[in-house]
């Protein structure tokens, strides 16, 4: 059986985790947390980063930082994970869904301006599969209308838009280290702050609304409750695991990209024959091989393909159920149609992609895929 995903171990995780445990400092913000944050700030040039318990929590922190409240509207794609929406809903805001683009499952940036109202406070961007959307244009739109740009970069660590890391375009950005991502610690996230006015308050909100961090640095003589915050700091044990992964990021990325490129090359004939559509790569981007997906012509073909692959020992997966059709939000969304988002919900499929896949595995998956699409349908 070739599974859809298998978390990779670099080999140093146990050593660092044991070291964290033996240090006796197992709460958050210990030496491993600091080392991870320093890694991100140095490698990507982010002004400030804070490790969080998840990407969802990093987006929640972002929602708190920009003071999202009842009556506000946030423009987000419908074809995304619930974590792009929940943080704003929890603060009483309304999410306004934008359709995916015809070229890619990411949001159609050209539709965003038509959805801006006097109540719009922010735009949240997602880069599907780690392939950057036109984030520069989104930032221009946000600036023109005086809106915040939040980047749900959960899948986009080490992706670049015209040589700039994708996480650097938002006022605030969020990464995920969930088991399913390229770099993982099981559950974890990162808040990236590019707008310096948020740095101090983020530290307070993340630490239950207290100025405990200032106290630890010796800046204040006791610490107090100074704002409405929550508990978003992961244990240093998780940060230790994460650091072991980060130290191997180039090796991990190289392997994932090699698998991705091999899939693309070997399946390209199916695209030429118009049997499937492979991922669209905009000019000037560098993606991170988070996902290898393609688009089938119909829901029926995709279902048959998933069944065929499963019968042959390969686990392939469809992806998001659109949020605008969700049981939770469809009444509030109303009947504005988002045909492209529906299309990706029905026709997109993802192939296995993980560091420890062998060349044989990749060939098995492509051969079966070619066989399925090249077999005449009766
Ligand atoms: C994985 C993912 C998340 C959630 O990340 P967590 O760290 O599990 O909270 C949010 N948004 C997108 C687009 C994701 O892919």
* 155 Cα to the center of ligand 1, angstroms: 7
Q: What residues does ligand 1 touch, defined as CB less than 6 Å away?
A: 54-56, 80-81, 83-84, 126, 152, 154-155, 176, 178, 189
In degrees, to the nearest 5, what angle opens at C-alpha 131 toward C-alphas 126 and 132?
60
Helix (H, G, I), strand (E, B) or coil at 94: strand
Atom of ligand 1 nearest to the CA of 177: 7
Atom of ligand 1 nearest to the CA of 58: 9
- Model pTM above 0.95: yes
Looking from the CA of residue 56, the nearest atom of ligand 1 is 9
Number of Cβ within a 10 Å radius of residue 81:
19
Ligand 1 atom having least distance to the Cα of 128: 13
Q: What domains sit in the chain, N to C, each tagged with a CATH number?
A: 13-246 (3.40.640.10), 249-374 (3.90.1150.10)
Question: Of 53, 107, 152, which is best to mutate to test ligand 1, by the most ligand atoms within 8 angstroms of its C-beta?
Answer: 152
Taking phi over 0 as left and psi of -120 to 50 as alpha, with beta for the rest, 357 belongs to beta
Give the Å distance between the CA of 55 and the centre of ligand 1. Answer: 6
Strands (E), the chain: 48-52, 73-77, 94-98, 120-126, 148-152, 160-161, 164-165, 172-176, 189-193, 285-286, 292-295, 348-351
pLDDT in tens for each of the 378 residues of the chain?
999 999 999 999 999 999 999 999 999 999 999 999 999 999 999 999 999 999 999 999 999 999 999 999 999 999 999 999 999 999 999 999 999 999 999 999 999 999 999 999 999 999 999 999 999 999 999 999 999 999 999 999 999 999 999 999 999 999 999 999 999 999 999 999 999 999 999 999 999 999 999 999 999 999 999 999 999 999 999 999 999 999 999 999 999 999 999 999 999 999 999 999 999 999 999 999 999 999 999 999 999 999 999 999 999 999 999 999 999 999 999 999 999 999 999 999 999 999 999 999 999 999 999 999 999 876
- The CA-CA-CA angle for residues 347, 352, 357, to 5°, reads 165
Angle at 240 between CA 239 and CA 242, to 5 degrees: 60
Phi, psi of 205 (to 5 degrees): -65, -35
- CA dist 155 and 175 (Å) reads 7
Compute the half-sphere exposure of residue 368: CA atoms within 13 Å on the CB side of its CA.
22
Cα of 56 from ligand 1 centre, angstroms: 6
122: left (phi over 0), alpha (psi -120 to 50) or beta: beta
């Amino acid at each position: 059986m070739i599974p859809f995903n298998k978390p990779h171990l670099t080999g140093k995780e146990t050593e660092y985790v044991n070291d964290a445990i033996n240090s006796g400092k197992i709460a958050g913000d210990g030496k491993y947390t600091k080392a991870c944050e320093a890694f991100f700030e140095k490698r990507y040039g982010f002004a400030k980063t804070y490790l969080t318990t998840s990407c969802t929590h990093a987006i929640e922190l972002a929602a708190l930082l920009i003071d999202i409240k009842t009556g506000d509207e946030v423009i987000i794609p419908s074809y995304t994970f619930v974590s792009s929406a929940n943080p704003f809903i929890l603060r009483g805001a309304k999410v306004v869904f934008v359709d995916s683009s015809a070229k890619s499952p990411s949001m159609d940036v050209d539709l965003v301006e038509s959805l801006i109202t006097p109540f719009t406070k922010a735009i949240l961007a997602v880069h599907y599969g780690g392939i950057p959307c036109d984030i520069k244009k989104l930032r221009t739109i946000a600036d023109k209308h005086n809106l915040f740009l939040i980047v749900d970069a959960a899948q986009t660590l080490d992706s670049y838009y015209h040589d700039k890391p994708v996480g650097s375009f938002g006022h605030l950005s969020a990464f995920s280290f969930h088991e399913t991502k390229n770099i993982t610690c099981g559950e974890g996230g990162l808040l990236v702050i590019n707008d310096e006015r948020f740095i101090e308050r983020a530290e307070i909100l993340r630490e239950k609304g207290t100025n405990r961090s200032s106290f630890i640095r010796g800046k204040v003589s006791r610490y107090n409750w100074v704002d409405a915050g929550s508990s978003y700091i992961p244990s240093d044990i998780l940060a230790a695991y994460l650091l072991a992964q980060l130290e191997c990021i180039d090796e991990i990325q190289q392997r994932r990209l090699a698998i991705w490129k091999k899939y693309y090359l070997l399946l390209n004939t199916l695209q030429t024959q118009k049997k499937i559509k492979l991922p669209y790569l905009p000019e000037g981007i560098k993606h991170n091989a988070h996902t290898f997906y393609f688009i089938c012509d119909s829901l029926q073909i995709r279902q048959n393909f998933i069944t065929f692959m499963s019968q042959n020992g390969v686990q392939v997966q469809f992806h998001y159920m659109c949020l605008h059709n969700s049981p939770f939000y469809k009444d509030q969304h109303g009947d504005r149609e988002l045909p492209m988002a529906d299309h990706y919900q029905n026709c997109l499929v993802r192939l296995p992609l993980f560091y420890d896949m062998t060349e044989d595995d990749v060939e098995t998956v492509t051969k079966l895929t070619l066989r399925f699409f090249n077999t005449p349908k009766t």
